[in-house]
Amino acid sequence: MMSIAFQDTSNVLQARAEHNAKLALRADRKRVTWFPVVVLGLLLALPALQFVGNYNYVLHLILFTACYATMASGWNILGGFTGYISLGHNVFFCIGGYFAGMILARYGVSTLVTAPLAGLICAAVGYLIGRITLKTRGPSFIISSLALVMIARILFDNWHFVGGANGVALPANDLSVVWAKLPYYYAFVVLAAAAVFVSYKIKHSKFGLGLRAISKDEIKAESAGIDTRTYKTLAFAISAAFVGMAGAIWGEYLTYIRPNIFLVILVSVNMVLMCILGGKGTVAGPVIGAILIVAFNEIFVATLGSSELNILASGLIMALALMFFPLGVIGTLAAKHRLPRILNWD
C-alpha cells in the first residue's frame, strides 16, 4: 500500500517539472521593446501637425491621457505592485500643483522647470505620510487615505496664503494659440514615458520583487528578510512623486490652482479605475486604462455633459470591472495567454 503512495509523489514531481518547463518556454518568447519606442517617437513627432492646421483638440486629448497615464502608473507602483489601495493620491496631485503653481505665481518660474522639484517634495511628503499610514493594512489603509483627502481639503480651503477655496490664478505662457499647448504636451508625454520606464525598471528589480512579495503576503515577506516597512514607504514616495509632477504641470496648463480641481474624488477614482481596467500591477495596464477612460469620458461628457452622470458612469464602470473584469485588459489577456506581444511591457 505504501509503495502506491510514493509512486504518487513521483508523479507529482514529474508534473511539476513539466509545468516549470512550460512556464520557461512562455517567458522565453521575447517581449517587444520596439513598439513602445515607436509609439513614443510618433507622439513626439505629432505636434508637426500644427504646421498644417489646428489640431489643438487632438493635442489636448493626448496630453490629458498622458497626464493620467503618469498618475495611474505612479498609483500602480503602490496600489498595483505593493497592493496598498489608496483613494487619496489626489492629495499629491494637489501638493505638486500648489508647490509649483505658487512658485510660478510669485517668482514667474515655469512649472516645467520646477516639476521635478515638486516631485521631490511630494516624495518627501509621501514618505512621511506613508511612514504613518502604511502601519495600517487593507480597509484601514483605504479609509486612512480617504481621511487624508478630507484633511487636505479643509487645510487648502482655509489656507489664505494660497488663496483658500478660491485658489490662485497663474500667468499663461505667451506662445500663440497654435503652439501654446506644446510645452505641456511634451512635458506630459515625457513624464508618462518616464513613469512607464520607471515602473518597468522597478518591476524587474529586487525592489519590485520585494513589493510583489508584500502584496502577496506581507508577513511572509517580512519573515523572508524583506524590510517591508522601508520597501512600501519607498513605493509610496515614488508613487507620490509621479502624481505630484503631473499636478505641477497640470496647474500651469489650466492657468489656475484651486482645491476643487485637485481634491475632488473623481481624480483619485480615475487613477484607481484606470489601473483596474488596464490591469493592476502590470506596466502597460495604467496606460491602456488611461486611454480607455479618457476616451470614454470624452464620449460621455460630450453626449451627456453632466458631472453627475459622469460620476454615475464612473461608478458603474468601476463596479462592473471589479465584478466581472478584475484582472483588467492586460491581466485578462495574459491569463489567457492571448496578450499580443506589442502590449507585453512587463
Q: How many helices and strands in the chain, by DSSP H and E?
A: 15, 2
User: Is residue 287 within 8 Å of residue 106, measured between CB atoms?
Assistant: no
Q: Which is nearer to another protein, 38 or 147 (CB)?
A: 147
CB-count burial class (<10 Å; 0-12, 13-18, 19+) for 19: exposed
User: Is residue 238 within 8 Å of residue 77, measured between CB atoms?
Assistant: yes
Residue in 124, 209, 301, 318 binding another protein, rule: CB under 8 A = 318
For residue 323, the Cα-to-chain-centroid distance in whole angstroms is: 21
Helix or strand or coil: residue 151? helix
Q: Which is nearer to another protein, 132 or 224 (CB)?
A: 132
Q: Which is nearer to another protein, 144 or 344 (CB)?
A: 144
User: Is residue 319 within 8 Å of residue 277, measured between CB atoms?
Assistant: no
Q: CA nearest 258: which of 196, 325, 184, 166?
A: 166
15 binds another protein (CB under 8 A): no
Can you say whether the dihedral through the CA atoms of 231, 133, 127, 89 is positive or negative? positive
140 binds another protein (CB under 8 A): yes
Q: Which is nearer to another protein, 53 or 305 (CB)?
A: 305
Piece of 57-65, 107-115, 281-289, 319-327 that binds another protein (CB under 8 A): 319-327
Considering the complex, what minimum distance in angstroms separates the CB of residue 138 from another protein?
A: 6
CB-count burial class (<10 Å; 0-12, 13-18, 19+) for 8: exposed
136 binds another protein (CB under 8 A): yes
Q: Phi and psi (nearest 5°) for 256?
A: -155, 155
Cell of 113: 522647470
Q: Which is nearer to another protein, 58 or 264 (CB)?
A: 264
13 binds another protein (CB under 8 A): no
Q: Which is nearer to another protein, 223 or 306 (CB)?
A: 306
Site for another protein in 297-316 (CB under 8 A): 306-316
83 binds another protein (CB under 8 A): yes
**Beta-ladder partners of 256:** 169
In angstroms, the CA 152 to CA 94 distance is 9
* Total residues in contact with another protein, by rule CB under 8 A: 48
Q: Which is nearer to another protein, 9 or 176 (CB)?
A: 9
Considering the complex, what minimum distance in angstroms separates the CB of residue 300 from another protein?
A: 11
Considering the complex, what minimum distance in angstroms separates the CB of residue 270 from another protein?
A: 11
Piece of 130-138, 178-186, 188-196, 337-345 that binds another protein (CB under 8 A): 130-138
In angstroms, the CA 83 to CA 108 distance is 40
In angstroms, the CA 280 to CA 303 distance is 29
Q: Which is nearer to another protein, 138 or 171 (CB)?
A: 138
84: region left, alpha or beta (phi > 0 left; psi from -120 to 50 alpha): beta
Residue in 276, 283, 291, 339 binding another protein, rule: CB under 8 A = 276
Considering the complex, what minimum distance in angstroms separates the CB of residue 153 from another protein?
A: 9
Q: Which is nearer to another protein, 158 or 166 (CB)?
A: 158
Residues of this chain that interact with another protein (CB under 8 A) are: 1-2, 4-5, 8-9, 83, 85, 87, 132-133, 135-140, 142-144, 146-148, 150-151, 154, 157-158, 265, 269, 272, 276, 306-316, 318-319, 322-323, 326
